[in-house]
Amino acid sequence: MSERRCPKCGTVYSGDARFCAKDGSPLVDVAVAGKSGTTIRKAYKPAAPERFTLTSQRIDNRYEVLKRLGEGGMSYVYEARDLTRGESVAIKILSPKLSADTSSVQRLRREAGLAMRLEHPHVCKIMRLGETEDGLIYLVMPYLRGELLSDREGKVGPLPIDQGVEWLGQMCSGLHHAHSLHIIHRDLKPENVMLVPSDDQRDKAVVMDFGLAKENRADPSMAKLTATGIILGTPEFMSPEQIRGRPLDARSDIYALAVVAYEMFTGKLPFQGRSAQEMMIARLRGKPLTVRQFVPDFPAPLEGVLMQAMATEPEQRFKTALEFGQALVKAANVPDVTQRLAGLLK
């Protein structure tokens, strides 16, 4: 019997699982046969970090790198100080081992080109695209001081309806702005939403990381970036059409945001399975579990809005993120939230 481990979070799976059900990472084999024929699990040891680091260095004699904030499959993110403006910024740098990969470089440049066009209080913008003398390509973004939505959920569990709907309305407004520029996100998930304190001491939701964003236009140069059949995104939040590798539009983001909303209110995912792969299949063949299976007193009108947004066929969902946000606010029927979102959702 073989077992596989998620290299990101360390969770071990048995059977045919290929992706981590928690973060969507591809699983790696971790089991070996013992002398008695039983399976012995290898001790999990986090992968040794790359020796590459920019901490305490300066980039282009302008950005003083303070510390590493995190890393992804193709980039590292640092907190830095912009010495010319005296502001804290976040810098995303393409991993040196991928610097020779033309497609990876193209992806980062494309991310900057798209995100530089975004200008909205609930979307994290790109401020600058640069390249160091030794060939490192980097993006400069505002440094958001706050907490990831995924971390907040982990601390407090399911969110109150008024708070959840307010953040969802803000995200809908930000996404509608992106969609109006023919940009879709393609990787919406709680880890890509930052809760940032605002001037009125209320946290606001900011959609981050348009790293998998794709302009919603036929462009041969962009089509070359991903081979046919390769699916980009996080399995648990993918729309059925994204799983199938079909063309995507704003309604795919609406679906993903509805899954995010479902998890916000229930602490669960709307499709069950022993692995991310099984959950993906469930999305293609079945219907999502009702919210009230987990939260019995959840308002029926609000549940109906989420179910419509998670319809299998895009034609059955809301046409725009703005419509989705308006429907959420109307169904929740919380006067204070309705008033605060009135200017965003019109």
Contact 341, 170 (CB under 8 A): yes
Contact 103, 143 (CB under 8 A): no
Structure tokens at 168: 């969802």
Side-chain half-sphere CA neighbours of 28 within 13 A: 11
Where b means 16+ CB within 10 Å and e means fewer, 21-38 reads bebbbebeebbeeeeeee
Separation between Cα atoms, residue 259 and residue 253, nearest integer Å: 10
199 is catalytic: no
**CA quadruple 154, 155, 158, 164: dihedral sign:** negative
Catalytic site residue from 187, 203, 209, 253: 187
Spell out the alpha helix ranges (H) of 71-148.
102-115
Separation between Cα atoms, residue 176 and residue 182, nearest integer Å: 10
DSSP per position, 212-270: T-EESS--HHHHTTS-TT---S-GGG--HHHHTT----HHHHHHHHHHHHHHHHHSS-S
129 to 43, 114, 140, 201, 264: CA distances (angstroms): 41, 11, 7, 32, 34
Structure tokens at 149: 């939505």
Query: How many angstroms separate the first and last alpha carbons of the chain?
Result: 56
For residue 307, what is the DSSP state? H
Which residues neighbour 28 within 8 Å (Cβ) at sequence distance 6 or greater? Answer: 4, 5, 7
Separation between Cα atoms, residue 111 and residue 213, nearest integer Å: 7
Which residues neighbour 336 within 8 Å (Cβ) at sequence distance 6 or greater? Answer: 162
Active-site positions? 187
